[in-house]
Amino acid sequence: MKKPLAVLRYLASVHILALIVLAVFRLVLYFTNIDQAGDADNQMVFLSKAMLKGVQFDNLISCYIIVLPAVVLLILSLFNRIPSSLITIFNVFFIVGYALVFAVSAADIPYFSYFFSHLGASAFGWFAFGGTVGMILQESSYYVYIAVFLFLIILFGILIFAFGRKLKSTVASDLKKKDYAVYIPLIIIVFAFCFLGIRGSLGRYPLRVSGAYFGNVSLYNQLGINPAFYLIKSMGVQKKQKDKLDGVMSVDDAIVFMRNSLRIDSLPESRSNPINRYIEAEGEAKKANVVVILLESMANDYLGLKYNGKPVAAYMNELIGKSYYFENFYSAGIHTNNGIASSLYGFPAIFERPMMNVEVDYYTGLPVNLKEQGYETMFFLTHDPQYDNMYSFLSENGFDHVYSQYDYPQDKVVNNFGVQDDYLFEFGLNKLNEIAEEKKPFLATFMTVSNHPPYIVPDRFTQAGNNDQERIIAFMDTSLKEFMEKAQKQAWFKNTIFVILGDHGAVTGKQGYDMPISYNHVPLFIYSPLFNDVPRRLKTMAGQTDIFPTVMGLLNRPYINDSFGIDLFKEKRDYSVFVSDNYLGCIDNEFFYLYNPHQKTGGLYKYREKDIRDFTSDYAEKAESMKSYAISTITLADYLVKNKLVRSPK
């Protein structure tokens, strides 16, 4: 055997082995999410197509890794020299390089199951906070993926060194002059295939994420994408692209569209914020307390869960019968920081950008306005206040007190996310009683966390559901019930408005669209002994940005509305707008418009009918209206935040 052929055998063995390992990870991802796979009749056909797409993406990543060893070893083989030490170096190079790729593939599996999206650049923001790493290490369900990764990388390493030993021990004859006429063209062809693999396509454009899409079942479309490729591309987009919507709509057009959508006719009080408007109040202001309760990952679909014939979230179902319940209410984003900032300050989420940056942005919203009007303002967290920069953000945006893990007994802390919901409410109730004794109205916000992995299910709830997910929802629901029952015994209760909602939802049921609607569809209950016209089920489109002006309206207090929210009892919005890290959604009672900012493409769907056909051409005017509404919302919000025009000067 000639030396170039021995090298090619070594390189081909490494390359094929890597493709096999990556295919194993893809199959694990598939079977972990098989409930999203669609009709059984077509599963094998779609899976085969997705796996073939996967080979194309995996080959691209593998070609990036193998190109350097291929160039060096094949050129040296032409000179009849392949140092043994160099083979060892490249063995280590392959193991380290593929360990990183395999690690991303392993981490992507639980991430995809939770978000129904691949691991993107925005996830790195989590690791600025120690709690995230602790959460990963404490979640036992992740251990299986860590074990799979460790097993495969160890096996991979053993085989790589075996391939290297075989190359070293191969008795290869030197090339003669006549051999170069064969092997130089052969090596050039190998290089050409390697660089073609890096490009990923023979077409005009190199391989892109959109190249994985071939049908209308989202799981299979996303299954083919190599997680490392996706992560690299998302990092490139985040670095190069200041705004996902650059060039789609001008700020001036967004201003005009949003002013018309919000029915703003008069000039703003401050020209720095073009949607600034002063809201007058008629009659006497209410001195009612306000308690906002943000329920972690509380999807609206969870209200329909049953165990032994009874609702898992029994108390929340009971609340529907004595509250204003908004059926079509949507979270602004898919992260807790989105839910807090949007609900309290009326600003939409802007894709993967955190709303609580290290450099604090200043808003007005509910805490600032009520604090200025004599309210004591409190925020109750379960965990480290530095997580997501919450402490600095909340302190700078209207909260007098931020209670957190450091205020609770150490024996009440159950994991890196701090105390459980029942103790959070117990501690908060005592603080509210103290403030009430001072005869001062208060705004209190609670952020629960128990319904977030890792689930810590109390012993008394081990038989409360079919699985830990349902059991922890039952625990969260019962914690809320117990808090409300204890609060009802306090003197301040009868003069308090309770606003109860999900900070965001979760992936529930089979997903027909790349952006799961269930991740943004959350319940909203507004309850108070002060209301005499409840219960009311409202079908109006609504979102977290509307909490601030709606509560100010219920309190009958004047305020400056710098936000994108409206008073849901006095105004009407055409659509609700929400985002994930990578998609923009707009929804009304019939249609769901989904916009992909990377590809600058959109689709219009009849989501009530769970129809996955794109109706854009059939309802072009509706599609354009929803697209303009959604894009103008995010474009203007992005402009105001970047230019620090959110909070108008006094």
The per-residue pLDDT for 340 is 96
Q: Give the count of beta carbons closer than 10 Å to the beta carbon of residue 278.
A: 12
Q: How confident is the model at residue 180 (pLDDT cuts 50, 70, 90)?
A: confident
Domain presence at residue 640:
no
Q: How far apart are the first and last CA of the chain?
A: 83
Could you tell me if 86 and 151 lie in one domain?
Answer: yes
Tell me the three state secondary structure of residue 537: strand
Residue 269: pLDDT above 60? Answer: no
CA 605 – CA 135 distance, rounded (Å): 36
Domain with 72, as residue range(s), is 3-240
The per-residue pLDDT for 539 is 95
Domain presence at residue 256:
no
Q: Which of 174, 206, 240 is the last residue of a domain?
A: 240
The encoded tokens of residue 250 equal 């001008």
Domain presence at residue 605:
no
CATH value at residue 416: 3.40.720.10
Report the range of poorest mean pLDDT among 190-204, 292-306, 311-325, 468-482. 190-204
Number of domains in the chain: 2
Could you tell me if 216 and 318 lie in one domain?
Answer: no
Q: How confident is the model at residue 129 (pLDDT cuts 50, 70, 90)?
A: very low
Could you tell me if 184 and 311 lie in one domain?
Answer: no
Could you tell me if 98 and 32 lie in one domain?
Answer: yes
Could you tell me if 487 and 378 lie in one domain?
Answer: yes
Between 598 and 305, whose confidence is greater? Answer: 305
Using CA atoms in the order 178, 179, 185, 187, what is the torsion angle rounded to 10 degrees?
-150
The per-residue pLDDT for 121 is 67
What pLDDT, in 10s, does the model give residues 380-427? 999 888 777 888 889 989 999 999 998 999 999 998 889 999 999 999
Could you tell me if 351 and 481 lie in one domain?
Answer: yes
Domain presence at residue 614:
no
Residue 134: pLDDT above 60? Answer: no
Q: Which of 535, 570, 605 is the last residue of a domain?
A: 570
Report the range of poorest mean pLDDT among 118-132, 186-200, 558-572. 118-132
Could you tell me if 219 and 327 lie in one domain?
Answer: no
Domain presence at residue 317:
yes
Q: Are 183 and 6 in contact (CB under 8 A)?
A: no
Residue 547: pLDDT above 80? Answer: yes
Report the range of poorest mean pLDDT among 213-217, 410-414, 598-602. 213-217
Instruction: State yes or no: cis peptide before 535, omega within 30 of 0.
Output: yes
Q: What's the chain's average pLDDT?
A: 90
Q: Are 449 and 382 in contact (CB under 8 A)?
A: yes
Could you tell me if 170 and 313 lie in one domain?
Answer: no
Q: Which of 570, 589, 613 is the last residue of a domain?
A: 570
Could you tell me if 360 and 220 lie in one domain?
Answer: no
Domain presence at residue 458:
yes
What CA–CA distances, in Å, run from 308 to 258, 305, 316, 466?
48, 10, 17, 9
Residue 130: pLDDT above 50? Answer: no
Could you tell me if 305 and 212 lie in one domain?
Answer: no
Q: Are strands 559-561 and 401-403 parallel, antiparallel or unpaired?
A: unpaired
The encoded tokens of residue 290 equal 């306000």
The encoded tokens of residue 246 equal 């650059």
What pLDDT, in 10s, does the model give residues 601-633? 999 999 999 999 999 999 999 999 999 999 999
Domain presence at residue 639:
no
Domain presence at residue 500:
yes
Could you tell me if 436 and 499 lie in one domain?
Answer: yes
Residue 21: pLDDT above 60? Answer: yes
Could you tell me if 481 and 366 lie in one domain?
Answer: yes
**Residues sharing a CB contact under 8 Å with residue 488, sequence separation 6 or more, in sequence order:** none
* Largest interatomic CA distance in the chain: 101
